[in-house]
Amino acid sequence: MNKRELGHSGLMVSEIGLGCMSLPTNQHEAKLIVDAAIEQGITYFDTADLYDKGENEVVVGHALKGKRQDIILASKVGNKWKEDGSGWTWDSSKSYITSQIKESLSRLQTDYLDLYQLHGGTMEDDLEEAVDVFESLKKEGLIRAYGISSIRPNVIDRFLRDGNASSVMMQYSMLDRRPEEWFEMIGSHGASVVTRGSLAKGLLTQDALKRAEKSDGYGEYSKEALIDTLSQLTQSTQNLHSSALAFVLQHDKVSAILAGASSANQLEETMKAYHQPISSEQLAHLKQYLRADMYTDHRL
């Protein structure tokens, strides 16, 4: 497994990381997947206090027990569950982040996080305060680096300008190329991109057309346009799954892809695809079939 630096943090992350949101709540089943990931060379694991109302962090902490020194562990903060569990509100205040890091560390059974991320954000937030608390947590040794998970360019730019963030998590794939416009801006601030949704809910795997037939489209693609695009892609590459991963990783501003897995078999399929070489010429050929959309809202 190749590794890349997370921004200028000095942290080296595996090019494929495990997005832990889809892990089973059963600790034994989850541990099987995490163990399989580590055997495949994955060293980067990402969770959030939002997932399963904190239980996902508990599951991840249990699965990684005894392996902490060998992995890069990330979590997120900012979404506050309502007392009745009916949903959540947004809180990026210093007091909330300061209290929640302690809760996350306890659930994850660790003394520190390698990466702590603001799990959203708006221009109405006091982002300077949020950055300040992340910087304080670094000085205390509770986190090694911090970042933001957002698809809002204006929020991302402001967050990066106000501090020394190392990463921006964004949805990015062959079927959602909106982030490309902002890669240079992110890199200019010393940060790098971590992608999610890079297989577009399984539409960029060997089951592409089956999934497309059952869908209502994807992003800016209508169902008809989606089926047409995926038909062209599958006819132009021997392994769409491999091409989808390679398409994302061809960008030097991207540090890692977070891939979800609800079973060890699903993870194995992703790793097989990752190890299948795809040439830059092949990727350039496939690009002609793809939309080049841009964000219409939250622009700089």
Q: Which of 51, 172, 218, 221 is catalytic?
A: 51
CA atoms within 13 A on the CB side of 136: 11
Please give the domain boundaries of the chain with CATH numbers for all domains. 3-202+251-278 (3.20.20.100)
Residue 219 CA to residue 225 CA, distance in Å, equals 11
Residue length of the chain:
300
- Token digits for 4? 């890349």
Residue 39 scores a pLDDT above 90: yes
199-217 pLDDT, tens digit each: 999 999 999 999 999 999 9
**Cα distances (angstroms) measured from residue 146 to each of 68, 119, 121:** 18, 11, 14
51 part of the active site: yes
Q: What is the pLDDT of residue 189?
A: 97
Residue 84 scores a pLDDT above 90: no
Average pLDDT over every residue of 115-120: 97
- Average pLDDT over the chain reads 96
In terms of DSSP bridges, do strands 79-81 and 88-90 run parallel, antiparallel, or are they unpaired?
A: antiparallel
Residue 266 scores a pLDDT above 90: yes
User: Would you say 288 and 177 are in contact if contact means Cβ atoms under 8 Å apart?
Assistant: no
Residue 96 CA to residue 78 CA, distance in Å, equals 8
Q: Which band of pLDDT confidence, cut at 50, 70 and 90, is reported for residue 261?
A: very high
- Token digits for 178? 């909106």
| Percentage of residues in the chain having pLDDT higher than 70 | 100
Q: Which band of pLDDT confidence, cut at 50, 70 and 90, is reported for residue 79?
A: confident
Tell me the whole-structure pTM to 2 decimals.
0.95
Helices 27-39 and 264-275, packing angle to 10 deg: 20
User: Would you say 300 and 155 are in contact if contact means Cβ atoms under 8 Å apart?
Assistant: no
In the three-class reduction of DSSP (H, G, I as helix; E, B as strand; rest coil), residue 59 is classed as: helix
